[in-house]
Amino acid sequence: MEGIAPKAHRIAVLTGGRGRGSNLRAIHQHFKELGFPASVALVIGDRRQTPVCELCHDLELHFVYVSSKDMQSYEAEVIKLINEHQIELIALAGFLKLLSADFLSRVQVPVLNIHPSLLPKYGGAKMYGMKVHEAVFASGDKESGATVHEVSPIYDAGRIVKQKSVDISDCINSEEIAQKVLKIEHQIYAEAILQYLKS
Ligand code: GAR
């Protein structure tokens, strides 16, 4: 007798206003290639008419707009949506605001983030996006990379789930570092999510 295929794990991706959606695309693609052991069941964005909205339209992903101007009501709305959509894990991809300890304990599903450096190096409140790569370039480091970590109420301080480094000794500016690191982000985020769900 043939076994019944296990149900795909339902993931939500939280994006921020400036996000391009490249990690969202990579996560969706990875799950699809593996035959959907997990699926992006919900995308929450805090701005309308962004590249992320267009991407969700193209990939037929369910996008919901929630304003993050008032973080208390944002968090309450996100918890409501997570419960309604039976989400098992939240992945932040370009969502840069701090989530509160209250939210993290009430949401009752793991919350992961991807950061474009080898944490604990180049993490913290003002370290995001190109600022990270500019600091890495200025330091003269020969390697950088990406880190998937649990979200905690302190920026980039949660337990590290997965990390991968890349040689940047031939990069002549921060944009080249950003490109190399983004490729690593796209390789490790979906893997880290699946690994986390299995553990
Ligand atoms: C990614 O590079 C991610 O590492 C970074 O935002 C970008 C979002 O890009 N996040 C941080 O810097 C968090 N501190 P994307 O919208 O193309 O996925």
**Domain 1-109 is found in CATH 3.40.50.170:** yes
Q: In this structure, is the dihedral angle defined by the CA atoms of residues 125, 128, 134 and 138, taken in order, positive or negative?
A: positive
Is residue 7 very low, low, confident or very high in pLDDT (cuts 50, 70, 90)?
A: confident
Of the listed ranges 54-58, 71-75, 124-128, the least confidently predicted one is 124-128
pLDDT value of position 18: 80
pLDDT at 3 over 70: no
Which residue from 127, 182, 183 has its CB within 8 A of the most atoms of ligand 1, so it is best to mutate?
A: 182
Torsion of CA 26, 29, 35, 40, to 10 degrees: 70
Show the tokens assigned to 72.
Answer: 């208390």
Domain coordinates of the chain in residue numbers?
1-109
Give the distance (Å) from ligand 1 centre to CA of residue 3.
39
Show the tokens assigned to 67.
Answer: 């304003």
Show the tokens assigned to 57.
Answer: 């339209």
**Is 187's C-beta closer than 6 angstroms to any atom of ligand 1?**
no
Annotated catalytic residue 115: yes
**Is 185's C-beta closer than 6 angstroms to any atom of ligand 1?**
yes
Q: Against a cut of 0.75, is the pTM above it?
A: yes
Cα–Cα dist 92/31, whole Å:
16
pLDDT value of position 17: 84
pLDDT at 174 over 80: yes
Which atom of ligand 1 is least distant from the CA of 22?
Answer: 17
Cα–Cα dist 61/188, whole Å:
21
